[in-house]
A and B are shown apart, each in its own frame.
Chain A
Amino acid sequence: MHDAALLTMEKITKVYPNGIVANNEVDFSIRKGEIHALVGENGAGKSTLMRILFGLEESQKGRILLNGEEIKNDSPHIAIANGIGMVHQHFMLVPSLTVAENMILGVEPKKGLRIDLQKAINETRALAEKYNLSVDPLAKVQFLSVGIKQKVEILKALYRGAEILILDEPTAVLTPQETKELFLELKLLKDQGNTIIFISHKLHEVKELCDRITIMRNGQTKGTFNTSDVTPTDISRLMVGRDVILEVEKDPAVPKEIVLSVKDLVMANNLGQKAVKGISFQVRKGEILGIAGVEGNGQRELVEGITGLSRISHGEVSIRGEVVNKKSIKEIRKLGTCHIPEDRMTYGVASEMTIEQNVLADKFDSKEFTGKILTKPKAIRNLSQKLVEEYKIKCSSPLQEVGMLSGGNIQKVVVAREFSSKPLLIIADQPTRGIDVGSTEFIRNRLVELRDEDSAVMLVSADLNEVLELSDSLIVMYEGEITAYFADASKVDEEELGLYMLGIKHQTPEEIGGVVYEK
């Protein structure tokens, strides 16, 4: 070893209170001045390991050495004092304050009893210049784009004296262009002597940016390598334990009649702002329409409007020819709509109830499962057993509490319930977010199967791979508007898609109008 380790984590073991083993005797070590990638599937334990390092979680076993001396990061304060900073996937900024005010939160420079705001502004500006992270110290955070907010987060960590910077999937929320910019900035940071831990599961990014790479699988480390010594295939084999390339096999779509028709739809978000600004599109039987876009560009409100979860401000949604603006959630479901919600724990399941009771939620009042008053336990048991088998839900029995399952299996419970009602229209909102590869593959294939069985599918996903792989045709949403429509999703270039996602490019109304097949 010609480079001594700057920081070493030894035999870290972490078990969450629900019994999930996130880290199992993990060893992890970084050198000064490197960009070190930490890769692995969702649920492999990357984030947990980093949360332990940053003092957000406590490990049951193991120790952390910094420059050879043991440190105890019991809280983020101590971690920061030890020169460790973390940029979370979800930003921790106060939207109503300016950049400079966010920077100094908790470490305010004082002039007497007052906060020395001018000093904060100057320091922010100096720091931004030093690392070429161009931000305006006086801008209010709420008006900044995601990419800029991320820069503020990085600056915030640097301002607090971080020399080891942990970035938790920083590119997940960025467009290809923003990602490029970020990489330049990170390289500059490295040149100035900082050390960066880069969490990701996008292999080409890791190859491009990182010096060394540590691979995690199933809560264990599967080795540390020089990035130049391994190919993406090697990495992916170590990550998932087998060669999987997530390519969905599907025949070309054969679209038939229109199932969902959205016309001039306007939706307000909970702040009363227009989140969806008068968009129109249609989805046909036997096709998957993808909706690409950076999260928070009106997708959630769009889905809530179609499924009846929120009131429609203006415009019209019709399903199978029936206007559903005034219909209840139940009535919309009765028309053959199913909905995979974006946030499975909030909307998708009751985690304290059993699998059986969860799969029953949308059909408990059908004649098959209840009489006038009483439920039919036998029919319900049959249903749950069938679904557990069919969807390969890993559990001890259908009577297990949903909260005890892993994320992928919880999502399978949601999907099993929704798909088992023979849907004509599937609204899938981030159907594979944060779950393991096996489950992801399963759910994606199931979506294609259902399409082939003549369901109409509307797929909302922030995962570019997913929309590009699964969709037959594609629209892009930016700030509540449709910026592009591609009739053939397989011909779309990722770079170009990025431009539309950022609102830099915009198709003509005529081009976008192509997604309305019948007036």
Chain B
Amino acid sequence: MKNKKLAFESLRTVLAVAISLVIALVTILLVSDVPGVALKAFLFGPLDSMRHFGNVLEMMIPLIFTGLAVGIMFQADQFNLGAEGAFFMGAVVSSFVAILWPMPAFIHPVVTILMGGLTGAVFCGIPALLKVKWGASELVSSLMFNYIAFFFGLYLINYFLRDPNAGAMVSFLLPATAKLPVIIPKTRVHFGLIIALLAVAAMYFFNYRTRWGYKNRLTGFNSLFAEYAGIKTAAVVISAQLIGGFIAGAGGSIELLGLYRRFSWTAQLPGYGWSGVIVAILARRNPAYIPLAAFFLAYLRIGADLMSRQSDVQNEIVAIIQAVMIILIAAAGFLEKAQYKMVFRDATKNLPKADNTAQEVEG
């Protein structure tokens, strides 16, 4: 029964993805004057060169971090959306550490990433504390905090780190000692990919093999039960958000050190935190599926990018795909009837025939 349920859930996810892709393809066919070119670029563009495929892997890195971050908070049943702000603030603080604290290579990125992570932890920890202390919904406060993070970060960069000669609102150049090395030649794929995969393994282990992870899951599934069993759920809830914030903050830092010459997210929030929510939902709470989900989303986005460059279809089409996907996965009612039929068939298969010996006694 359990495996069937799991299989059904996977089927549901795959079907949701398939339906959203079909809708996107139909839309492209309808709006484009050169649908052949557009579809080819969208579906196969990311595979047509090492550089394009490298783009996919590059984009996957931040998505893995934010996906893991959101995932662990969801696991504790905390709908903290602060990964966006944590990612951004992690990168802001990392710029300071990288630019203002000269250090030898190797050590420099390590310290920078740790500082970014700590910043993220503090950032996601504030809504957690507000929730535990005063019952403020972490969803609302973390959402609002993202805007505080953005403008506070801009203020910091603008007043303390802005390069007056750069001609735009960006920071000074990041020193070479702090940068992460490229690991696949002819692409920009950097060492962050390895860190990301290590983080996935660590989180998987955390979730299923550690005492802490067990507490986290127990609290997430039924916090009253966890409390009754003697677990201090407030501590668990806070720690989950601290860890989540740390991962998101470190992710922001790694993204900055791997791909950028200067801190330059000054127009708007980079958006990886929001995407992390999508990744976490696709991966269904299991850290092992995060890389898959991140790869999928990255592939879609790079494909759409290439399509918009080569044809008349805009890359916003990805937003449609994401929206349909999330709605279908999140909607409990999707395929409910089919599942119910399956349950019904299963349950009635081995039933004893109704007892016809039951007699009516007349008075």
Contacts and interface: CB of A to CB of B under 8 A. Distances in A.
A364 B214 contact: yes
B348 interface: yes
Interface in A359-383: 360-362, 364-365, 370, 373-375, 377
B230 A333 contact: yes
B348 A15 contact: yes
Interface string A28-58: 0000000000000000000000000000000
Contacts of A309: 227-228
B316 to A, nearest CB: 37
B1 A396 contact: yes
Residue among A24, A330, A362 with max Cβ neighbours from chain B (10 Å): A24
Interface stretch (B63-71, B188-196, B215-223, B268-276): B215-223
A229 interface: yes
Interface in B203-232: 209-212, 214-215, 217-218, 221-222, 224-232
Interface stretch (A134-142, A279-287, A344-352): A344-352
Contacts of B217: 353, 357
B356 to A, nearest CB: 10
Contact of A225 (B231, B340, B361): B361
B232 A328 contact: yes
B343 A17 contact: yes
B363 interface: yes
Contacts of A451: none
A119 B46 CA distance: 76
A21 B347 contact: yes
A222 B358 CA distance: 5
Interface stretch (A124-132, A399-407, A499-507): A399-407
A329 B232 CA distance: 9
A25 interface: yes
Given A17-B340, A361-B229, A404 B210 contact: no
Indicate the member of B2, B225, B346 with the most A CB atoms within 10 Å: B225
Contacts of A223: 358-361
A18 interface: yes
Nearest to A418: B229
B351 interface: yes
Q: Is the interface of A mostly helix, strand, loop or mixed?
A: mixed
Given A222-B355, A353-B218, A373-B211, A346 B343 contact: no
Interface residues of A, number: 56
A85 interface: no
A224 interface: yes
Contacts of A361: 218, 225-226, 229, 231
A404 B5 CA distance: 10
A22 B221 CA distance: 26
A516 interface: no
A106 interface: no
A139 B2 CA distance: 52
Nearest to B225: A350
Interface residues of B, number: 40
A479 B141 CA distance: 42
Given A329-B227, A374-B209, A20 B222 contact: no
Contacts of A351: 221-222
A328 B360 CA distance: 59
A175 interface: no
A483 interface: no
Contacts of B231: 330, 361
Interface string B335-363: 00001100110111001111100111111
A96 interface: no
Contacts of B343: 15, 17-19
A20 B346 CA distance: 10
Nearest to B344: A15
Given A221-B355, A309-B227, A362-B230, A400 B215 contact: no
B1 A400 contact: yes
Contact of B354 (A220, A307, A360): A220
B230 A328 contact: yes
A404 B211 CA distance: 25
Nearest to A365: B211
Interface of B: 1-2, 5, 209-212, 214-215, 217-218, 221-222, 224-232, 339-340, 343-344, 346-348, 351-355, 358-363
Interface of A: 1, 11, 13, 15, 17-21, 24-27, 60, 220-226, 228-230, 307, 309, 328-330, 333, 339, 341, 346-353, 357, 360-362, 364-365, 370, 373-375, 377, 396, 399-401, 404
20 contacts: A21-B347, A21-B348, A60-B344, A223-B358, A224-B361, A226-B363, A328-B230, A329-B227, A329-B229, A333-B230, A339-B228, A353-B221, A357-B218, A360-B214, A361-B225, A361-B229, A364-B214, A370-B211, A377-B209, A400-B1
Given A19-B346, A24-B348, A228-B363, 14 more contacts: A15-B343, A15-B344, A19-B1, A24-B351, A220-B355, A329-B228, A339-B228, A349-B225, A350-B226, A353-B217, A357-B214, A373-B210, A374-B210, A375-B209
A-B pairs, 7 with minimum CB distance: A330-B230, A25-B354, A350-B221, A226-B363, A361-B229, A350-B222, A223-B358
